[in-house]
Amino acid sequence: MDTATKLTDIRTLSLEELTSQLILTGEKKFRAKQVYQWLWEKGARSFDDMTNLSLELREKLKERYSLLVVTEDKVQRSNDGTIKSRFRLHDGHLIESVLIPVVADDRFTVCVSSQVGCSLTCTFCATGRMKRLRNLTAAEIYDQVFLVNQQCMETYGKPLTNIVYMGMGEPLLAYKEVVGSIDRITSHTGLHMAPRRLTVSTAGIAKMIKKLADDDTKVNLAISLHAADDVKRNEIMPINESNNLEVLVDSLVYFYAKTKKRIGFEYITFQDFNDTLEDAEKLYQICKQVPSMVNIIEYNPIDNAPFRKSAEHNIDDFATYLRDRGVMVTVRRSRGKDIDAACGQLANKG
């Protein structure tokens, strides 16, 4: 273990904890607020960046604390304007984030990762083939947002408008750190983004969906559904065996009752598997049980997977079937496919 990781990670401390510790070393109370501002609002990459602190205090901070920041490792730019960033963590692990611009609508979304790898082994997802090595810390999730926000400002002259926890990993299996990052992103001492601009996506961890509602995080919830009956969902998403559709829908009804937030269903269509009108009817039966909207996503091929993208007319017929029954539907065309940045493709390639 190197020296930095033996020290207390300063970004795991609350302002109150940091204040108490600095006072014990003879510093004035206001110094803690200055340090905290550097850590979160200004995104300091090292203690030496904290230029309004005395050299003596900066040295004191270096002796007592580590600052384990995320650093840019590689950036790929798609023909459609999407930007994929690979970030290196302090222990050498790699993760990916994606900036998805919709310039015409002034909407700039970052898709962030919450784990190194993933443990859920969904058969259509490249990340699911990677072993889960660890959860990200709240600060590492925050860093992705901070750095991609800078990238967005430099490239498009606009800040991020939305954050989706839809990158590598299952956010609700990194619950404490994900909620910690939400607190910092939405705090007036952080990025001060409105919670309604944040969406947490899950493959369906029912117990943690209820906890998310109980903790009153005020973020949006999206469910990676991809099949509307247990037989098919078990086949492509092993998590369904322990969180079947009945249990999952029960948790969504609970979430809506607590939060009054409409549920988003993410539904990738696969040719000759889940894209028939019979499948659409089963999805409609789920949508009837809780106020919801459906995002139909075209499949992005990954190596050695047995799936094919649905024909356009199948996708259109599927969407029309739902719309005719009053369901809000968006057909989402994939972005960043040429750089493996689209849904299900994040795997640290290249």
Cite the annotated binding site for S-adenosyl-L-methionine by residue number.
Answer: 169-170, 201, 224-226, 300
Q: Residues comprising the binding site?
A: 118, 122, 125, 169-170, 201, 224-226, 300
Residue 266 CA to residue 271 CA, distance in Å, equals: 16
Known catalytic membership, residue 140: no
All residues at 6 or more sequence positions from 304 whose CB lies less than 8 Å from its CB, including other chains: none
302 near 324, Cβ under 8 Å?
A: no
Q: Are 98 and 82 in contact (CB under 8 A)?
A: yes
Helix %, strand %, coil % of the chain (to 5): 40, 20, 40
Handedness of CA 121, 301, 209, 274 (dihedral sign): negative
Determine which one of 17, 72, 96, 177 is catalytic: 96
CB of 79 closer than 8 Å to CB of 336: no
111 is catalytic: no
- Cβ neighbour number for residue 192 with a 10 Å cutoff: 10
Confirm if 257 and 297 have CB atoms less than 8 A apart.
no
Asked whether 223 and 239 are in contact (CB, 8 A), the reply is no
User: Three-state SS for 34?
Assistant: helix
Which of 111, 152, 287, 343 is labelled catalytic? Answer: 343
For 240-246, the CB contacts below 8 A with 24+ separation are 240/204, 243/204, 243/205, 243/206, 245/286
What does the block give as tokens for 147? 């750095």
Distance (Å) of CA 6 to CA 10, 64, 65: 12, 10, 9
Return the active site residues.
96, 343
